């Protein structure tokens, strides 16, 4: 989830800080960022809440971490981009 790393860097947040906000270890967050691991549903929901970014369900359908939406959660709720 390269966009997770971009979000973190754009906002000046360390891996440790974002991992604590999401409720995972720094090691696990690093794996999310590199695509070595995909978050489970609960972790993805928490990532969405913390970052205001939507992580598409196709991540669990073999689409990999590259299928992350660029729309914010608020935009999705309003139907922007669909």
The C-alpha torsion from 8 through 14 and 50 to 43, rounded to 10°, is 100
Nearby residues of 30 by Cβ (< 8 Å), 6 or more positions away: 15
70 token code pair: 């660029």
For the chain, 82 residues long, give each residue's pLDDT as a single digit of tens.
Answer: 778 888 888 888 899 999 999 999 999 999 998 989 988 888 888 888 888 876 654 354 444 444 444 455 555 555 554 4
Residue-range domains of the chain with CATH = 2-78 (1.10.260.40)
pLDDT in tens, 47-68: 888 888 766 543 544 444 444 4
Phi, then psi, of 42 in degrees rounded to 5: -65, -45
At residue 3, what are phi and psi to the nearest 5 degrees? Answer: -65, -25
């Amino acid at each position: 989830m390269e966009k997770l790393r971009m979000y973190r860097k754009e906002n000046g947040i360390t891996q440790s800080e974002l991992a604590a906000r999401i409720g995972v270890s720094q090691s696990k967050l690093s794996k999310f960022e590199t695509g070595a691991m995909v978050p489970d549903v609960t972790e993805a929901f928490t990532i969405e809440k913390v970052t205001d970014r939507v992580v598409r369900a196709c991540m669990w359908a073999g689409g990999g971490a590259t299928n992350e939406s660029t729309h914010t959660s608020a935009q999705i709720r309003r139907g922007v981009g669909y």
